[in-house]
Amino acid sequence: MPHDHHPDVRHDAPRVRHVNQVLGSRMAFPFNDVLHRLEHEGSLEYLRIPTADLSRRRLRVVGTKGTEYLIALPRESVLYDGAVVVIEDTLGAVVRVDEQLWLRLAPATTADALELGYHAGNLHWRVRFDGAQLLVALEGPASAVTARLKPLLDAGRVEVLGEEA
């Protein structure tokens, strides 16, 4: 057995990195140049994070190269698409946000719009407005949203126009 091999060390064990701050944007100097170099060297790792998890302060993410990241951010820090969380000579890690899907809903009348808004607020759904239509952020299957609106949908008071990015 070679002297440099220790029987208790697993060389294929996953790497774990602790992240406690956002260092800046991948587009900002000097990150953009360093990250470009690391990408060409194959040393840039992306952390895919669902949109719904961006507001979380603590989460566990496995990067594209298999590294486990344990993220614990202070209250004033936020994750965003392009956030640099690790930058070293031989490794960079950048947050990539999964595309948010939205369910577009069209109320039939102003009264229906008020009731739809009331339900969305009570259920703490993230929403956007597009004229008279309401877009609900999908944090699961669309059926989870439509099940909660079944009486409005069945009565023809709200129409589902579809999902979109």
pTM of the model: 0.60
CB 140 within 8 Å of CB 109: no
Domains, the chain, ordered by start: 16-97 (2.60.260.20), 102-164 (3.30.70.790)
Q: Which residues of 56-82 are buried (b: 16+ CB within 10 A; e: fewer)?
A: eeebebebeeebebebebeeeeebeeb
pLDDT mean values, one per 10 residues, the chain (165 residues): 41 75 88 91 94 88 95 91 92 89 95 96 91 89 92 97 90
pLDDT of residue 4: 44
Residues in contact with 32: Cβ distance below 8 Å, sequence separation at least 6, in sequence order: 26
pLDDT of residue 2: 43
